[in-house]
A = this chain, B = another copy of it.
Amino acid sequence: MGNFEEVLEKAYQESYLPFIEVLQSHPQIKVSLHYSGVLYDWLEKTHPDLLERVAKMVVLGQIEPLTGAYYEPILPFIPDSDKIGQIESFSLRLQERFGRRPRGMWLAERVWEPDLPKPLAQAGIDYTFIDDIHFKAAGLREEELLGYYLTEEEGYLLKLFPISRKLRYLIPFAPKVQEVIDYLRSLATPSGERLIVLGDDGEKFGLWPETYEWVYQNGWLNDFFTALEENRDWIRMWSSEEWMRENESLGRVYLPTSAYQEMAEWALPAKSIPLYEELITRFKNGGELEWFEGFLRGGFHRNFLVKYPEANLMHKRMLRVSEKIARLSDEHGGLLMDEAKRLLYQAQCNCAYWHGIFGGLYLPHLRRAVYNRLIEAELITDELSHTKAHWLDKEIADFDRDGNPEILIDSPVINLYLAPHRGGSLFELDCRKRGLNLLDVLTRREEGYHREIPSLKEEETQLETKSIHERIKTKEENLEECLIFDRYHRASLIDHFLPPQTTLREFSQLEYEELGDFISEPYAHTMNREGNSFSVVLVRTGKVKIQGVDLPLLLKKRLKLVEGEALVEIGYELLNLSSMPIEALFGFEFNLSPQIRGGEGPGESKDIDLLKMEDKESGLRVYFRLEQPGSLWQFPIFTVSQSEKGFERILQANNLFFHWHISFRPNELWKTNLTIEIANAYSF
């Protein structure tokens, strides 16, 4: 969800289309096929001929369509009601096209938790496919995985086919097709009661680096299918349902929480990754990995939400919208609610909620798509809940589930989310009618793989095997310079006190001294409604270190919203509570979504009282107006992350630091005001 049109088209041309073409020329080869709902919708719009082709192959029994949760959520990340809604809506879609409702599903990212059988069975699912490593984690051995198993939750039954990792690595990467055939031969028995399952990404066939040439131009896939046909006296291709009709299960089993091994590793805290890698390497080098791998388990997939607080904020935002929809569903049905659900389901697409070998959370356009759908879905529910055109709602709740309350202000124009306990900062500012969160940024964090960068050459480093998990190349020059890691969450309205001589370079490179304690520390908060406006006051009595002495200072910031206006008025008051003069650079920091640019661009501006920023894609403009002219430092925040192509630098935020050189005596008060106005906030 949110992927670029050209990426989808390239995948279609180099993978989805040629795969089906080769498959169609081998009518004896059977596959179970799953298109994610995102891709399915796109194909329906862009290449409906491919779906018609598939439909014919379904009729001929060559393709068994699989359903799934519509927009590929990681199922344990979303509420049970949404799990069921996502699966049922996609099954219905496939039933319309293929004439029957699929009973098997593809589990996004093969992320498993043992309570899944209940909602899956409730959504009409009979079977799915899971990595062999999940079974090994339950103590089963490779040779016990040649068939399918039964599991249950509260008595709800589900059939599980183990996916062979050996096949996932051999196909299509074995230098010779015969190697795959030889491996199959090693498993075959005269009675033929053994089943081996390959389940993998279609993109491996053409879209992954160099695979187009390998799989199609050099004919690997055609050769492989031919070899399977030539050996049909002992290799039989089955659809899942044929196999289950003719074969009993291998038994019952319960699988622990599990994802494929690589994902489990990525879910570990960065500092634990080297230790886990050492463990795996040790067993691999000792030739014992196969024996012990079921016991050598990495992290837990849900911890992407801990490792990346931005993923958590997006996730809890999603839960908030899901709750609003669930609350309304009982009273309101109809098309508007259907649309709200569709948008919510789209926003649950897994990619932006985690990060591994693919960009995921690091890709701003994926996050933007998630916020866009969430904000639009929520607007539908809020408009159904309110009869007046103008309103302001507030909620104080532990939004991000960190044990502390956040302040959530909703209006039909703007949403403002504040974290009093984290420096009284602003972490979400939505322009609702445009479906845009202006503060959708990413903080820079150390990743397990960053330690590899300094030792890599800039040209491609080609490793022995072609598997994507073992290829890494640097993509850009001087990436090391971007390896700066933030000390705090890059939200907005973050209040700094710096030594007067601090430079933009020092500030942006994190080579400055923070004199205050107003960044991550708690602010007290009060709220007031006055007629058609609403104010939040955040207050902290903190300290500013001047010449080695901590001096007390009171900082009060006040945000005011007026019903129906796309405007936030912000007032700052600083009171020197000490008996000493305080001299410092004082300022507040904003981190705007990377697509929002403007002003003079990176650099320093003095004596400014107006800054214009613009989101080119939507045409939305943001005006910052300073009552008291000040200085502005503007600089980009880049992350370094890995993708299937190598390491890359990505713009994650545009940092604005409005500041003043202040010098005030004991008991002196310093004040300033700022307004943030969003223009074109209403037009779609």
Contacts and interface: CB of A to CB of B under 8 A. Distances in A.
Contact of A295 (B138, B256, B276): B276
A306 B402 contact: no
Nearest to A76: B114
A305 interface: yes
Contacts of A292: 275, 279
Contacts of A256: 256-257, 297, 300
Given A155-B316, A269-B139, A402 B150 contact: yes
Contacts of A152: 401
Nearest to A306: B252
A555 to B, nearest CB: 21
B150 A254 contact: no
Contact of A299 (B139, B252, B296, B402): B139
B248 A403 contact: yes
A127 to B, nearest CB: 11
Contacts of A276: 139, 295
A218 interface: no
B303 A138 contact: yes
A656 to B, nearest CB: 29
Nearest to A273: B139
A298 interface: yes
Contacts of A154: 79-80, 319
A105 B340 CA distance: 38
Given A155-B316, A319-B154, A398-B157, A279 B252 contact: no
A300 B137 contact: yes
Interface string A247-266: 01101111111000000000
A524 interface: no
B140 A269 contact: yes
A168 interface: no
B254 A279 contact: no
Interface string A69-88: 00000001001100000000
A485 interface: no
Interface string A652-680: 00000000000000000000000000000
A577 interface: no
A279 to B, nearest CB: 6
A447 interface: no
A139 B303 CA distance: 9
A339 interface: no
A115 interface: yes
Q: Copy number of this protein in the oligomer?
A: 2
Contact of A323 (B114, B155, B303): B155
A401 B115 CA distance: 15
A472 interface: no
B295 A298 contact: yes
Most interface-central of A138, A159, A312 (chain B CB within 10 A): A138
Contacts of A305: 252, 254
B252 A401 contact: yes
Contacts of A461: none
A216 to B, nearest CB: 40
B155 A303 contact: no
A136 to B, nearest CB: 9
Contact of A319 (B79, B155, B257, B302): B155
Interface in A126-157: 137-141, 150, 152, 154-155, 157
A412 to B, nearest CB: 24
Contacts of A141: 272
B302 A279 contact: no
A86 to B, nearest CB: 15
A431 interface: no
Given A137-B297, A157-B403, 6 more contacts: A76-B115, A113-B114, A139-B299, A141-B272, A152-B401, A256-B300
17 contacts: A114-B300, A137-B299, A139-B267, A139-B276, A139-B298, A139-B303, A155-B316, A252-B306, A252-B312, A252-B402, A254-B305, A255-B300, A256-B256, A256-B257, A256-B297, A275-B292, A297-B297
